Amino acid sequence: MQFLPSPAALAALVKIALLVGGLMTAAAYLVLLERWIAAWVQDRRGPNRVGIPLTKIRLFGLGQPLADGLKIILKEDFTPGHVDRVLYNAAPLVILAASLAIFAAIPFGSVLPPLGIAGLPDPVPFLVAPGLDVGVLWVFALSSIAVYGVLLGGWASNNKYGFLGGLRSSAQLVAYEIPLGLGLLGVVLAAGSLKLDAIITAQAKTGVWYALAQPLGFIVFLVASFAEAARLPFDLPEAEQELVGGYHTEYSGIKLLLFLVAEFLHMVTAAFLIVILFLGGWHLWGVTGASDDIGWVQALLRFAILSAKILAVIVFFMLVRWSWPRFRFDQLMSLAWKVMLPLGLVNLVTVAAVEEYRPALEAALGPGTARAVAVALPWAACLVGWIVAGVFTPSGTDNTPILARDPLDVERGIAAGELPLAETAGSR
């Protein structure tokens, strides 16, 4: 008997199998969804031909992921002669392993009703590593490791486009981890826990999602997670029009597939985090309560609500892709350091102040008014912060050329009034 794994280990294995299988299928179908939305936005019909293999049944094209997957797996896996072989082969594995391992700490539902199996903790949570107290840190640490996959891929490719993609990626991801962390910090401060399931429960108990209580934090986190997932309008690491494929220019076949799957997993992770941290996770007013003591219907309902919210966020991600053009790199950096970082700090200070004085407020004003004030204050901070950021940050850089190389010429030109543009050349 002692050779058998414990029920807890078995439960973890089952959860891992479900999660990895589900995520891979989801990634495949998200590619289809992405293509559909791309087509619909462009007034096309999108892939609607492939159905069940070897039959004429089309099913609106739901067989497309299978065809896409088979096609890319059967393609030649070509390794160029000029690459660093070890790193070149390691990069896709690093990025995919990190992207999948992130989900160990992410709850994909609430809890199951008590099963009564000896050796299993009751109730069983929808979470691979339920005891992990540093869930949020785990997620952030591993998403930083996923960046290494991008960097290694770009470096090992020994290709200019690969270098540029990897370079941009490193700068962008390092820059946007800070606003991402600041947005997260407000949530952790308010919830008092680094466990993602505890953060959901905290929102479910009060009924105030953190997107409502910390609008500024939500905006900062949302923008930063677009950049972290390298989605348009921040997809500079792999801007096709400029960099061919960016860091995966030199990859083909199944290694490219791993990169692409990891990219979609980044988006799924970002959607999970947005929903869990700011949109209440599985909580929906009047439908799901906050208690852990639930039946099967409630357990499945919570899972369905969480999935629906995540799908909605992903559709938003995909719509955004076709709504706004890509930022230029200096604009991207300027947004991160000059706008998102200060706004994140403003949010953090506001949340800290509200949390510090909440007991005093409740004693003075009563719980109802105190809650209204606690929500109104961050909204006021959001409004003021946004307007200040909009008015006082540089809106862009001037691309008109510096008119003369010789500084004396410029001065002469200004003095003579011949060069009206000299003063606007350079950063505005």
The nearest distance, CB 45 to another protein, in angstroms, is: 5
Binding mask 31-50 for another protein (x = CB under 8 A): ------x--xxxxxx--x--
> Smaller CB distance to another protein: residue 240 or 418?
418
272-293 burial, b at 16+ Cβ within 10 Å, e below that, comes to bbbbbbbbbbbbbeeebeeeee
Q: Are 344 and 182 within 8 A, CB to CB?
A: yes
Q: Are 277 and 184 within 8 A, CB to CB?
A: yes
- If one asks whether residue 400 binds another protein (CB under 8 A), the answer comes out as yes
Cα 107-264-9 angle, rounded to 5 deg: 35
Polymer length in residues for the chain: 428
The nearest distance, CB 320 to another protein, in angstroms, is: 8
Cα-only R_g, the chain = 25
Which of 133, 156, 137 shows the shortest CA–CA distance to 145?
137
- If one asks whether residue 387 binds another protein (CB under 8 A), the answer comes out as yes
Binding test (CB under 8 A) with another protein, winner from 20, 322, 367, 426: 322
- If one asks whether residue 57 binds another protein (CB under 8 A), the answer comes out as no
- If one asks whether residue 404 binds another protein (CB under 8 A), the answer comes out as yes
Beta bridge partners of 125: 111
- If one asks whether residue 417 binds another protein (CB under 8 A), the answer comes out as no
DSSP per residue over 110-143, as a string?
-BPPP---TTS-SSPBS-SSTT-TTHHHHHHHHH
- If one asks whether residue 52 binds another protein (CB under 8 A), the answer comes out as no
Question: CA-to-CA distance for 326 and 297, rounded, in angstroms?
Answer: 44
> Smaller CB distance to another protein: residue 345 or 403?
403
Token pair for 219: 């905006």
> Smaller CB distance to another protein: residue 108 or 317?
317
Piece of 9-17, 63-71, 148-156, 386-394 that binds another protein (CB under 8 A):
386-394
- If one asks whether residue 9 binds another protein (CB under 8 A), the answer comes out as no
- If one asks whether residue 343 binds another protein (CB under 8 A), the answer comes out as no
- If one asks whether residue 2 binds another protein (CB under 8 A), the answer comes out as no
Q: How many helices (H) and strands (E) does the chain have?
A: 15, 0
- If one asks whether residue 421 binds another protein (CB under 8 A), the answer comes out as yes
Residues that bind another protein (CB under 8 A): 37, 40-45, 48, 319-320, 322-324, 386-387, 390-391, 395, 400-401, 403-404, 413, 418-419, 421
